Amino acid sequence: MAEYPGKVVLVMGGDSAEAEISRLGAEAVAAGLRQGGVDLEVIDGMPALHERIQQGGVDRVFNLIHGSPGEDGILQGYLQAMGVPYTGSGVLGSALSMDKVRSKQIWQALGLPVANGRALRQGEPAKALVEEMGLPLVIKPAREGSSVGVHILRDRAALEATLATLAIDQPMVEAFVEGEEYTVGIVEGEALPVIRIEPGEAFYDYRAKYQSETTQYHCPCGLPAAEEQAMQQLALRAFAALDCSGWGRVDLIRDARGQPVLLEVNTTPGMTSHSLVPKAAAQAGMDFSALVMRILGTSEVRR
């Protein structure tokens, strides 16, 4: 087995709401990298990573921290300042994609399809929101992933109750789009096969994503080839519009008219047994070790 040159540090965990998912994924990623001949060290959190880099001898970083500071540009800016190559998107792409409000604004400016939505202002009355956007509505954190803190509100009473007790940092509100959920993995500018998600729950929330055994992932997704290709091209455009690079995942909904609507970009997607990028890669003929080695290769652009 050929050895991958240099010392690689896999950084994961941290203290975000998605830290445990990151740790679960790191077990699989570490095994895949070692299978690929990588001299690997696994570190939990950015402070520990900083201490390790101060010691010297770190040639590149495989970033698997979900949420802040791994997906919002903080880790990326630090590693660039320290001159250490890292996987995935750079500072701007990470920061923009982490902020769903600004992502939406950029996509809207480019004419890409998104649900009507914006930042939620403190003290906004339910009546004004309903008049502006109708019902159902979605209220969620603008800078979290894994469906953490998402509220789907189908009537005025539920909306009023949620607004009265809302404890979300930087909340946003958007019109709820009814339809089928899809996701498109991207590695080095290539869109992987589309996955259609069929939740076993009423909503594809944190439990449905990481704990449920009833959620089904369809790959092939069942769309006609032309529609799947169009969805892949839309995902690539959305990814590039936010200055994302390396690898990631674009989530969409196909509405009642059959039109895809962009939801968000994940620049460091999950890599657990339930995760979607590995499923799509397998459909494309790429085993898990080959996938993580290819992701590691995205650090080459930041040498």
DSSP one-letter string for 89-107: --HHHHHHHH-HHHHHHHH
The confidence score (pLDDT) of residue 205 equals 47
**HSE-up (13 A, CA, CB side) for residue 26:** 24
- Give the Cβ contact number of residue 267 at 10 Å: 31
The confidence score (pLDDT) of residue 147 equals 60
The confidence score (pLDDT) of residue 2 equals 56
The confidence score (pLDDT) of residue 18 equals 87
Please indicate whether residue 41 is annotated as part of the active site: no
Please indicate whether residue 123 is annotated as part of the active site: no
The confidence score (pLDDT) of residue 204 equals 47
Active-site residue, selected from the candidate residues 88, 182, 264, 289: 264
Please indicate whether residue 18 is annotated as part of the active site: yes
Active-site residue, selected from the candidate residues 44, 180, 205, 251: 251
**For the domain bounded by 96-113+178-286, which CATH number is listed?**
3.30.470.20
Amino acid at 116: N
Looking at residue 161, the DSSP 8-state letter turns out to be H
Please indicate whether residue 90 is annotated as part of the active site: no
Which residues lie closer than 8 Å to 297 by C-beta, 6 or more apart? 188
Please indicate whether residue 249 is annotated as part of the active site: yes
Please indicate whether residue 146 is annotated as part of the active site: yes
Looking at residue 83, the DSSP 8-state letter turns out to be T
Fold of the CATH domain 4-87+291-302: Rossmann fold (3.40.50)
Under 8 Å between Cβ of 201 and 214: yes
Q: Tokens 């992502």, residue?
A: 103
Tally helices (H) and strands (E) across the chain.
Answer: 11, 13
Looking at residue 86, the DSSP 8-state letter turns out to be B
The confidence score (pLDDT) of residue 165 equals 85
The confidence score (pLDDT) of residue 213 equals 67
Active-site residue, selected from the candidate residues 13, 18, 63, 228: 18
Q: Tokens 């896999």, residue?
A: 10
The confidence score (pLDDT) of residue 302 equals 61
Please give the average pLDDT of every successive group of 10 residues along the chain, which has 303 residues: 81 91 96 96 98 97 96 97 97 96 96 94 90 93 71 91 85 93 97 93 51 81 98 98 98 96 96 90 96 95 62
Active-site residue, selected from the candidate residues 249, 289, 299, 302: 249
Tell me which of 1.10.540.10, 3.90.1200.10, 3.30.1490.20, 3.40.50.2300 is the CATH number of domain 117-175.
3.30.1490.20
Spans of all domains in the chain: 4-87+291-302, 96-113+178-286, 117-175
Active-site residue, selected from the candidate residues 182, 196, 210, 299: 210
